[in-house]
Amino acid sequence: MSADSQSARTASGDAGAEPDAAAPLLHVEGLTKHFPVTRGVLGRTVGYVRAVDGVSFDVARGETLGLVGESGSGKTTVGRSILRLIEPTAGHVTFDGVDVLDADARELRRLRRSMQIVFQDPYSSLNPRMRVIDLVGEALEVHGLARGPEIERRVGELLARVGLSPSAINRYPHEFSGGQRQRIGVARALALEPKLIVCDEPVSALDVSIQAQVVNLLKTLGRELGLSYLFIAHDLSVVRHLSHRVAVMYLGEIVELAPTERLFEAPAHPYTRALLSAIPLPDPRRERRRLVLSGDIPSPVDPPSGCRFHTRCPAVMERCKSERPPAYAPEPRHQVRCFHAEGVTGDGWYPEVEARIEARIQKNRAETPPPPRVVLDVAPGGPLRPVEQNVSIDARRAGASAPAVSRSLRKKLWYVVPLALLLAFFGARSAFRRAAAERELEALAGELTAKTKLTGSVPASIAELGWRLPPLFGNHGAVDPWGRAFRYRLLRDEKGFELSTLGPDGVVSADDSVVVRKFR
Amino acid sequence: MTSVPEEPLLRIENLSVRFRTSNGVVRAVDGAGYDVRRGETLAVVGESGCGKSVTAMAVLGLLPTPPAEVASGRIEFEGEDLLQASPARLREIRGNRISMIFQEPMTSLNPVFTVGDQIMEGLRLHRGLSREEARREASHLLELVRMPAPEQRLDEYPHQLSGGMRQRVMIAIALACRPRLLIADEPTTALDVTVQAQILELLRELQRELGMSIVLITHDLGVVAETAERVVVMYAGTVVERATALSLFDKPRHPYTAGLFLSLPSLGAESGSLRPIEGSVPDAMNLPSGCRVHPRCPFAMPVCSERDPVLTRREAAGEPPHESACFYVDQQPDADLVALTREGAPP
């Protein structure tokens, strides 16, 4: 194993101008990334998601910095911005003395040899159509570090280093379990002998027993190869196990940064305290001292003014709502963005904050007692709790009254009312027209009768009057001057009206010829 | 125990579920079983593929058959054998007396229906409420799960809610008919720790208010320690250990459970490096003979690969039942498995 690492080290060959060893390997200052929020077809920018807002930290050589936070806190964006997988909006990133954000494409390529990333999901981050030798060896080939049989030898070495059999080089990702795949991911990151590996939730998709294997592997590799890690995770116990220092992020800001022991033993920021107290510990006898935050993390599109945590903070002051706290340092290596830390040194802390947090914890405990630890083996007196007592929902229902108009209907009023008015209008109009047409037809029938008395021929009379027939189509009845009923049909097609008298059987009569009046 | 134990709410006995696939038969669950008593929280713990979810799906009759088939076993709910029940009867029980909440609240909610519609569906179906009544009840359910502005949320769609709020909606749907049993399959795995704490707290409060039993399926031993009264540990389709939470965390009587404890950073950290369980979960198509754990077990003996161990009571007289299936513990009932595993020197 160590022989492998020796050869790997010497083969790297990029021992150029060695920068100052005391300087941090990675220096990040004021890193900011705002994603535009666009709307509409034209992609108009209507706002910004402030994913990362002025984040600064250092990572020393061989150091592991843990970056924790809830989803939406911007920790992944920080990791990717450092590698420029995402272009940051503002800030400075210096890696090994080189400005990463100013680097052109060639420089960036060289930089990326020393900065690698391991992704969260070992199932989607490995191309299923590539063999292990291609997955791991691709980078060697692209960067011109090895070719042909040399690649095969190097990939074999790398696999051995991450605890896989070198004979696996010709297999495909689907032939491996989740933990083994993550080992392949690590081998791929190691291929270029990087100085820094950004681990973005590398174990959260793995089973407990496998997580521990990968965590141990990362720890061993870090020690043996002198790697620095930026370890991004939401699992605080894993972070505690691996990191030298831990940064806690909330809504795009680092709210607290401290050496691991200090952060876990004496957390200063109320958010860190809540986060730590939320970890479920595998010890049923431990007394529960939980500081449960109310509500959810606010939207980064419209972060709260002042301190971003003030909306959920148990120790909020008036000042927190308007002013943004700077980073205070109660100890040389401990930074906290909280006004309560102003002027505080060492372990001293405002008793008032302590009291307020304690009050909240006590309140939580009173509201949710721990699960009963009695054994539910009871005497044959029936069930422990009569299930029929589940009436609390009904009890609540009895006291409530229904709103006058249901809310869903009220919400729809804006289109239901105009639609109803429109329908009513058209309905009324057509009824009105119909009535007018009936009246006109009646008048027409009278006129027709009078005319027929003069001409003696029904069809001729209809022909004279036809053009004045109302827009009422179909079969109609009329009475001729001798009192005999007759029927006629009024049709309309694209050519014009067709008026014809109908025989007693309802078909167009042969003797009274069809009369057509064209209107066009 | 001298007293006669009460009749459990749910009793699963010797359940075997197989999946017939084109590549062969997968024995997803193989002779597993547990009891759930009234009003208790039972945690079912295990790694992916151990059969903990398949067992729950079998209870609800939700296994996709053809590929799945229940080869043997009995699932008794309030004295009724669910495996013999007709599909119509199962539909009546499901969502009414037994409810389930799933891991991913985004994929289990229908994105094209409002939250209110989805809660009201069960109320109208199982409890025959009118639209207006169902709506009022739905708003009370959202109030019950501590949803801010419940009346307003009824008309919102799932995408408008955060992960924690979606899980609250899922819980509201599950509670709509006030079930006797709630099966929660990894209810907090997709959530952040602070939200997880809120949801676990909610489940505990609701259990106290409604007096229901909860089967909590999880892989997180921290969650188990904080919520469960009794624990079932599963591995590769079998139950390897059953005990009260206190007894299990005090003194695990199965090497696999001990290995799980030592894989946890917060406990394992005391001894410097973590001591993970070697190897990985076996392929369900190709299970090891005898004890399923033996290829990964530091205490494995020749007999372990030849015969199946049986669940045996280990507790001292007068203590609650603690069962495990292990030949090594049969021989050394008092061995401290955690200490022995940590030292890495099995006898």
Cross-chain Cβ contact A285/B148 below 8 Å: no
| pLDDT tens, residue by residue, A481-509 | 455 566 666 665 554 455 566 766 666 66
* Sequence letter at residue A43: G
Cβ-nearest to B260 among A209, A297, A371: A209
Residue A509 lies in a domain: yes
| pLDDT tens, residue by residue, A143-157 | 888 888 889 999 999
Could you tell me if B187 and B290 lie in one domain?
Answer: no
Q: What is the chain B residue with the closest CA to A288?
A: B226
Of A247, A266, A285, which marks where a domain is finished? A266
Of A241, A266, A291, which marks where a domain is finished? A266
Pairwise CA distance, residues B34 & B232, whole Å = 7
Pairwise CA distance, residues B260 & B46, whole Å = 9
Instruction: Note the pLDDT of residue A174.
Output: 86
Q: Does A238 touch chain B (CB under 8 A)?
A: yes
pLDDT of A190 higher than 70: yes
Q: Does A211 touch chain B (CB under 8 A)?
A: yes
Residue A342 lies in a domain: no
Q: Does B337 touch chain A (CB under 8 A)?
A: no
Instruction: Report strand pairing: A334-336 vs B230-235.
Output: unpaired
| pLDDT tens, residue by residue, B293-334 | 999 899 999 999 999 999 999 888 888 889 999 999 999 888
Give chain B positions within 8 Å (CB) of A211: 263, 276
Between residues A465 and B77, the one the model is more confident about: B77
pLDDT tier, A67 (very low <50, low <70, confident <90, very high otherwise):
very high
Instruction: Note the pLDDT of residue A499.
Output: 59
Residue A216 lies in a domain: yes
Instruction: Note the pLDDT of residue A236.
Output: 85
Q: Kindly state the percentage of chain A with pLDDT values over 90.
A: 25
Cβ-nearest to B155 among A177, A180, A407: A407
- Best mean pLDDT range from A248-257, A369-378, B15-24, B284-293: A248-257
Instruction: Note the pLDDT of residue A447.
Output: 67
- The CA dihedral of A464, A465, A466, A471, to the nearest 10 degrees, is 160
Cβ-nearest to B228 among A179, A371, A385: A371
Q: Where are the beta strands (DSSP E) in A42-135?
A: 44-59, 64-68, 90-95, 98-99, 115-118
Domain coverage including residue B207: 10-233
Distances (CA, A) of A225 to A8, A157, B147: 10, 14, 50
The nearest CA of chain A is from the CA of B335 a distance in Å of 20
Give chain B positions within 8 Å (CB) of A223: none
Instruction: Note the pLDDT of residue A8.
Output: 40
Q: Does A365 touch chain B (CB under 8 A)?
A: no
Backbone angles phi, psi at B321, to 5 degrees: -60, 140
Q: Does A70 touch chain B (CB under 8 A)?
A: yes
For testing the chain B interface, which of A76, A299, A384, A387 should be mutated: the one with the most B CBs within 10 Å?
A: A387
3-state SS, residue A265 = helix
Q: Output the DSSP codes for B29-67.
A: EEEEEEEE-TT-EEEEE--TTSSHHHHHHHHHT---TTT
Cross-chain Cβ contact B38/A384 below 8 Å: yes
pLDDT of B1 higher than 70: no
pLDDT tier, B3 (very low <50, low <70, confident <90, very high otherwise):
very low
For chain B, how many structural domains are there in total? 2
- Best mean pLDDT range from A243-252, B78-87, B167-176: A243-252
Contacts of B262 (CB under 8 A, 6+ apart): A212, B268, B274, B275, B276, B338, B341, B342
> Could you count the other beta carbons within 10 Å of the beta carbon of residue A327?
16
CATH code where residue A66 lies: 3.40.50.300
| pLDDT tens, residue by residue, A252-263 | 999 999 999 889
Structure tokens at B203: 């489940």
Pairwise CA distance, residues B150 & B165, whole Å = 11
Letter string b/e over residues B80-119, b meaning 16 or more CB atoms within 10 A of that residue's CB: eebbebeeeeeeebbbbbbbbbbbebeebbeeeebbbbbb
**CB of A273 within 8 A of CB of A291?**
yes
Residue A439 lies in a domain: no
3-state SS, residue A192 = coil
Residue A421 lies in a domain: no
pLDDT of A379 higher than 50: no
Residue B68 lies in a domain: yes
Could you tell me if B143 and B74 lie in one domain?
Answer: yes
Task: Fill in the DSSP letter of residue A68.
Answer: E
Could you tell me if B29 and B162 lie in one domain?
Answer: yes
**CB of B140 within 8 A of CB of A402?**
no
**CB of B239 within 8 A of CB of B34?**
yes
For chain A, how many structural domains are there in total? 2
Could you tell me if B16 and B164 lie in one domain?
Answer: yes
Between residues B343 and B303, the one the model is more confident about: B303
Structure tokens at B197: 């704490």
Instruction: Note the pLDDT of residue A459.
Output: 57
Give chain B positions within 8 Å (CB) of A407: 151-152, 154-155
Instruction: Note the pLDDT of residue A351.
Output: 67
* Sequence letter at residue A390: N
Give chain A positions within 8 Å (CB) of B154: 407-408
The nearest CA of chain B is from the CA of A110 a distance in Å of 34
Q: Does A278 touch chain B (CB under 8 A)?
A: yes
Could you tell me if B184 and B327 lie in one domain?
Answer: no
Contacts of A423 (CB under 8 A, 6+ apart): none
| pLDDT tens, residue by residue, A9-35 | 433 434 444 455 568 899 999 999 998
Q: Does A212 touch chain B (CB under 8 A)?
A: yes
Q: What is the mean pLDDT of chain A?
A: 77
Cross-chain Cβ contact A389/B211 below 8 Å: yes
Domain coverage including residue A139: 2-266
Residue B209 lies in a domain: yes
Average pLDDT over residues A381-402: 36
Residue B87 lies in a domain: yes
Could you tell me if B209 and B259 lie in one domain?
Answer: no
Of A207, A238, A266, which marks where a domain is finished? A266
pLDDT tier, A450 (very low <50, low <70, confident <90, very high otherwise):
low
pLDDT of B272 higher than 70: no
Could you tell me if B140 and B267 lie in one domain?
Answer: no
pLDDT of A387 higher than 60: no
Instruction: Note the pLDDT of residue A52.
Output: 92
